[in-house]
Amino acid sequence: MPISDPIKKQIAVKSLLFVKICRKCYARNPVSAKKCRRCKSKQLRYKKREKSK
């Protein structure tokens, strides 16, 4: 579904990019998280930030 509203797209992109992904269970965690909320693993990585315009 294409998003035509640029503001909505900005929010969508932010919410997609500003997360940490657990390397173990691939759960999404907030950027401020130090541990995975699901499996308590500390192996979190940032979601890749790719420019897709």
Q: Which of 13, 17, 19, 24 binds Zn ion (CB under 5 A)?
A: 24
**38 vs 49, beta carbon nearer Zn ion:** 38
Query: Edge to edge, what strands does the sheet with 19-22 contain?
Result: 28-30, 19-22, 44-46
Dist CA 30 CA 16 (whole Å)? 11
Cβ of residue 38: shortest distance to Zn ion, in angstroms?
4
Half-sphere exposure (Cβ direction) of 35: Cα atoms closer than 13 Å: 5
**9 vs 23, beta carbon nearer Zn ion:** 23
Interface contacts to Zn ion, rule CB under 5 A: 22, 24-25, 27, 36, 38-39, 41
